[in-house]
């Protein structure tokens, strides 16, 4: 029996009917079994790919990507996921569209969605705006489908917003699951989600928020650490607390990186901007206040520079369990002595974890493909079994 068949049999036991024709906004919108389904299908698709089996569930159709912020890994992961399933990818470059001429979100949504099966959107730069844009866009698409403009209703995959980065955190989680030999081995494991110094400003909060919103669902000891003033959204912290209480794990905040790293099994040192500052920046952009934005940037860079000791050094790693915690990062990292004079992580630490870091990133295309498949395929169990029984990919 192949691994894919074993995974399909596990999928059959899960209550996942609500995933069909659904969107993927935030991980906390999904049940435990629905998250399990995403991990299961991702593993099955990877197994099929490793055995050179065709995974084309579509013979035509589009995957539309809209990146309102720069991206390498997520952009190519989305393209890879769509191609894996048989979709052609078209990227909407807003600078080359009519958006600059006043085209509305509703019009854009309908015009790009003809024959589209999935839409991936990244909009993470402005607090209160990213998720709002995704929701506005998809509401317009749903109206277009109801009004008979679109023959099918595309599904959304959140490729990062101002609140959550579900494809990244789900990929991180699947990496953790495999590193520790299964979900059953995660209970009680300590993960330190810590702020780290960066010489740049304005990094989104969605990765730390996504981590505390997801990892607390697995009975882990989740610790958030940051300097004073670098708070994340309070509503996401409330979600983390509720998750921890429900799973027998814990969620707590500490004031130092040293305390967070102490005896940690997993560390995730990553820079982000203060929640209050990101709110202020959004208001300044809405007002078109360029001088105010420049002044805020200078202020935040100076604030960051006060905390250069918040870095993942060799000494800091020695504090972790047996000095060998699993190091995670969404990439690209600010690497001391390589990409910048001082940054989030020492070059020697980063270099030592290079292979597992790249493996961590490699799960993202399969996570995205699984999100698409679970939304577009009514009977994913039968679909996986059919793919397992089908021919290998044709290579001419």
pLDDT in tens, 178-216: 999 999 999 999 999 999 999 998 899 999 999 999 999
Instruction: Answer yes or no: is 396 within a domain.
Output: no
- One domain, residues 150 and 174: no
- One domain, residues 155 and 265: no
Instruction: Answer yes or no: is 394 within a domain.
Output: no
> For residues 37 and 60, what is the distance between their CA atoms, to the nearest angstrom?
25
How many CB atoms sit inside 10 A of residue 106's CB?
15
- One domain, residues 91 and 117: yes
- One domain, residues 15 and 73: yes
Instruction: Answer yes or no: is 26 within a domain.
Output: yes
Instruction: Answer yes or no: is 29 within a domain.
Output: yes
Half-sphere exposure in the Cβ direction for 106 (13 Å, CA): 6
- One domain, residues 140 and 117: yes
- One domain, residues 16 and 135: yes
Half-sphere exposure in the Cβ direction for 264 (13 Å, CA): 28
Q: What backbone torsions phi and psi does residue 65 show, to the nearest 5 degrees?
A: -110, 135
Q: Which of 201, 261, 271 is nearest to 232 (CA)?
A: 271
pLDDT under 70: residue ranges of the chain: 96-101, 394-396
- One domain, residues 355 and 226: yes
Evaluate the omega torsion of the peptide bond into residue 332 and state whether it is cis, within 30 degrees of 0.
yes
- One domain, residues 378 and 309: no
Work out whether the CA dihedral 174, 175, 176, 178 comes out positive or negative: positive
Domain CATH code at residue 383: 3.40.50.1370
Q: Print the domain residue range for 267.
A: 168-361
- One domain, residues 73 and 199: no
Phi-psi region of 260 (alpha: psi -120 to 50; beta: other; left: phi over 0): alpha
Alpha carbon 307 to its chain centroid, in Å, reads: 26
| Residue 91 β-bridge partners | 65
Report yes or no on whether pTM surpasses 0.85: yes
Q: What pLDDT is stored for residue 93 in this prediction?
A: 82
Instruction: Answer yes or no: is 243 within a domain.
Output: yes
Q: Are 154 and 65 in contact (CB under 8 A)?
A: no
Instruction: Answer yes or no: is 44 within a domain.
Output: yes
Q: Are 202 and 237 in contact (CB under 8 A)?
A: no
Q: What pLDDT is stored for residue 287 in this prediction?
A: 94
Half-sphere exposure in the Cβ direction for 51 (13 Å, CA): 17
Q: What pLDDT is stored for residue 125 in this prediction?
A: 87
- One domain, residues 233 and 152: no
CA-based diameter of the chain, in Å? 64
Q: What pLDDT is stored for residue 392 in this prediction?
A: 84
Instruction: Answer yes or no: is 395 within a domain.
Output: no
- One domain, residues 118 and 17: yes
Secondary structure (3-state) at 186: coil
Instruction: Answer yes or no: is 300 within a domain.
Output: yes
* Secondary element (H or E) of residue 287: helix 275-287
DSSP H helices, 288-379, are: 290-305, 314-317, 347-352, 354-362, 364-376
Indicate the number of domains in the chain.
2
Place of tokens 């299964």: 182
- One domain, residues 319 and 286: yes
């Amino acid at each position: 029996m192949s691994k894919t068949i074993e995974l399909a049999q596990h999928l059959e036991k899960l209550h996942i009917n609500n995933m069909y024709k659904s969107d993927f906004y935030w991980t906390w919108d999904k049940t435990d079994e629905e998250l399990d389904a995403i991990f299961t299908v991702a593993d099955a698709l990877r197994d099929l790919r490793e055995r050179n089996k065709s995974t084309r569930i579509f013979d035509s159709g589009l995957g539309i990507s809209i990146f309102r912020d720069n991206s390498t890994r997520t952009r190519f992961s989305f393209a890879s996921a769509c191609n894996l399933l048989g979709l052609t990818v078209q990227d909407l470059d807003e600078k080359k569209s009519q958006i600059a001429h006043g085209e509305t979100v509703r019009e854009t949504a309908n015009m790009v969605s003809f024959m589209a099966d999935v839409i991936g959107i990244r909009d993470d730069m402005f607090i209160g705006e990213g998720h709002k844009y995704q929701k506005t866009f998809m509401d317009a698409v749903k109206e277009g489908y109801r009004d008979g403009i679109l023959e099918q209703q595309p599904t959304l995959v959140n490729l990062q917003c101002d609140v959550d980065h579900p494809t990244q955190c789900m990929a991180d989680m699947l990496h953790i699951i495999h590193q520790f030999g299964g979900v059953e081995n995660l209970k009680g494991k300590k993960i330190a989600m810590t702020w780290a110094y960066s010489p740049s400003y304005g990094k989104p909060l969605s990765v730390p928020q996504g981590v505390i919103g997801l990892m607390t669902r697995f009975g882990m000891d989740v610790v958030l650490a940051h300097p004073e003033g670098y708070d994340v959204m309070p509503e996401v912290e409330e979600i983390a607390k509720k998750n921890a209480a429900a799973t027998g794990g814990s969620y707590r905040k500490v004031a130092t990186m040293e305390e967070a790293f102490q005896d940690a099994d997993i560390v995730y040192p990553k820079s982000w901007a203060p929640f209050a500052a990101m709110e202020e920046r959004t208001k300044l952009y809405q007002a078109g206040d360029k001088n105010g934005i420049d002044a805020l940037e200078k202020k935040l860079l100076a604030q960051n520079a006060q905390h250069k000791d918040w870095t993942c050094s060799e000494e800091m790693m020695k504090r972790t369990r047996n000095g060998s915690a699993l190091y995670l990062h969404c990439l690209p990292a600010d690497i001391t002595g390589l990409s910048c004079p001082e940054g989030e992580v020492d070059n020697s630490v980063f270099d030592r974890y290079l292979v597992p870091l790249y493996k961590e990133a490699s799960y993202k295309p399969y996570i995205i493909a699984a999100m698409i498949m679970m939304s577009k395929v009514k009977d994913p169990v039968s679909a996986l079994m059919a793919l397992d029984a089908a021919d290998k990919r044709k290579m001419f």
